[in-house]
Structure 1
């Protein structure tokens, strides 16, 4: 494996020249190579960068003059964010760098999120920011494999405190570029959503069965960021098919929870024409941040603390009708083959008969609402079993094999 990896260093070289130069010196000292990109607007770097601010603005279809003449720093930085994202993707496709590190305060971080989201999964992406891990950063803007470190004590100028963060970041991105095993797209990929085996366990049977059929299976933890990664890959057309059996993030978003995968959850595969299998695993729960108050709409609902980070609220029968309509409205946007599986005996381990969250009437109302609002572009199978029963996995595999035979899914 070649150790001579090139790291693209991105930042405002008019105001953070010393800090960016320090990053470069650490990478060079460790045997790496660097390429530099200036995303400043008003000032000039102390020495030319490999990619100037003018090249950045032009890559986004604008100019530095337009950024300045707009008279608004927010608009100016968005011009640079568009350009930096487009230029970075172009350079990566041309093999000009192996990993990227972006340095900034709130404005630089805003740009960094766009740039990292533009690069494919598997490209090492490191952000050194004064607002790392802040509530300001919306989950839907975070690339699935983004790495961040707080730029403590680094708002202005170099010091021993901020050098600690900068040197760690420089070593981390170079090490990642040397060690990364990027996704291998030789095998067709199935994207599946789920939770841990104590709640949903169909993947235990489905994953090896699908692998025997020549497919790779990636299971995404549907707790916000997992769904975001799932949707991002679906939007890129990375999946041969999806098995979206844990759409709880749709319910979370509808109820205003911070544990969200974004408004486009459960839409990207359909819009891309990717064959979809859908089931309503954990549809009846709303997750929320365990150390915060529940969303206002959930006041008075029965809740369960999963751990100190995560709690869940059980929704009412009326709520379930709403959730069914939201799911159906998303499925109506699908352009590819879509099959919905309705396990009539329950949709998570906690709602079995005799379990703490069992609600036969609520489940019946939900299924009835799905039947009523099911769009005409999808098909549905009603299964007299629980989602965690072997019969559910067998029904999924039977449909998958049918799709294989018909060419709906290909190897």
Structure 2
């Protein structure tokens, strides 16, 4: 049972609050490993990992942090050391989860610390700026939990105790209840955009599971793409079916719904076999309650719900997306197959559909073909991306890789079929 929680923060200035979190965890039968990331002062309570340990893990010292005479520089030293130590402690089996407390300075450090822990490790940030637009999406780990530290800028009171006690109980409960990702079956990562828009996973997931794979489908709305890339960078996937690359266009055109500049790159860097396609390539997703940017004022528009809207790209904008996708998969160190469904890239993009633009799709496909590098196998399909023929084409690529030894021959459960449903 996971009981040992890393409790990190500036124990010189947040001694009472961090001590309270520690006491709640201990009172619930957990264990605590206390890490001090302060610079100037010293804690009045004992800690397990001192500020000197943290600075040394960053290849520096507290003296150097103080000599910098810049709190930002000093805290980045401590953030680097804290992240390095947290990763090491988890790898050594000495912690099961982490909770970090802070204001803006502590939150800046906390984001580095929790990012150093693998996906699936419970990680909590208790912050006075939780959910604030000051926190850039690209610094938020895909599975972090944030709790607003209400009324807690200085000292304990009944308001902040309500937040701190919930956070302490949450991280301990998560550490005890978490079911870490298994590694008993080869994992295939797939991107999509929701069952009403892209439906290929309905056919592909059971068919791939029948072949002995585990399948994880990621919602390509910024954070989902970041989680996908994070796992790819760890080498967690045997193969990826990256069929929903619209986060590339989102980033290219400045949308807040972005998975960052490195979307569609991690699998290639790790030589993970990739089957790539064009789902929702023509859409740029926008925060639904934000005003539509001026450049898209005259673009076709679809309100998916109150928090997510999409605009349809012009032919020239789609060509830019095509070049950005090719630039990414063209650097891949492993095999890449690019599937091009000629009859549409999402459910709204069917003949007679509300967002269909045949000329725009043709321009996009033409650009992909013209720019396609030699390392990418291009397959034209006379299907819509949601047709079963598209799913069968993707399965044919996977089966070919299995036969060639590119992918492992996963064990198939007794009685299961190896054909698409």
Contact 2:300 2:355 in 1 (8 A): no
TM-superposed deviation, 1:229: 0.3
Q: What are the equivalent positions in structure 2 for 1:234-245 lying under 5 Å apart?
A: 234-245=232-243
SS in 2 for 1:41: coil
Q: How many pairs align? A: 409
Residue 288 of structure 1: which of 266, 286, 289 is its match? 286
Equivalent-residue separation in structure 1 for 2:304 and 2:312 (angstroms): 13
Residue 153 of structure 1: which of 140, 151, 154 is its match? 151
Q: Calculate the TM-score normalised by the size of structure 1.
A: 0.98
Equivalent-residue separation in structure 2 for 1:83 and 1:297 (angstroms): 43
Q: Calculate the TM-score normalised by the size of structure 2.
A: 0.96
**Structure 2: gaps spanning 5 or more residues:** 411-421
Deviation per CA, 1:160-210: give whole Å up to 9, x if none.
111110000000000001111010011110000001111100000100111
Contact 1:257 1:295 in 2 (8 A): no
Alignment-derived partner of residue 5 in structure 1: 3
Alignment-derived partner of residue 419 in structure 2: none
Residue 225 of structure 2: which of 213, 224, 227 is its match? 227
Equivalent-residue separation in structure 1 for 2:293 and 2:185 (angstroms): 42
Q: CA RMSD in A?
A: 0.9
Deviation per CA, 1:336-379: give whole Å up to 9, x if none.
10110000111101010011011111111110010111122111
Deviation per CA, 1:311-360: give whole Å up to 9, x if none.
11011111111111111111111111011000011110101001101111
Runs of 4+ in structure 1 deviating by more than 3 angstroms, as ranges, are none
Alignment-derived partner of residue 215 in structure 2: 217
Residue 66 of structure 1: which of 53, 60, 64 is its match? 64
Equivalent-residue separation in structure 2 for 1:36 and 1:296 (angstroms): 50
Equivalent-residue separation in structure 1 for 2:335 and 2:68 (angstroms): 46
SS in 1 for 2:47: coil
Residue 106 of structure 1: which of 98, 104, 107 is its match? 104
Contact 2:283 2:311 in 1 (8 A): yes
Residue 30 of structure 1: which of 20, 28, 31 is its match? 28
SS in 2 for 1:381: strand
TM-superposed deviation, 1:95: 1.4
Alignment-derived partner of residue 318 in structure 1: 316
Q: What are the equivalent positions in structure 2 for 1:131-146 lying under 5 Å apart?
A: 131-146=129-144
Alignment-derived partner of residue 395 in structure 2: 397
TM-superposed deviation, 1:296: 3.9
Whether 1:39 and 2:37 are equivalent positions in the alignment is yes
Residue 194 of structure 2: which of 190, 193, 196 is its match? 196
TM-superposed deviation, 1:294: 2.2
SS in 1 for 2:348: helix
**Structure 1: gaps spanning 5 or more residues:** none
Alignment-derived partner of residue 120 in structure 1: 118
TM-superposed deviation, 1:60: 1.6
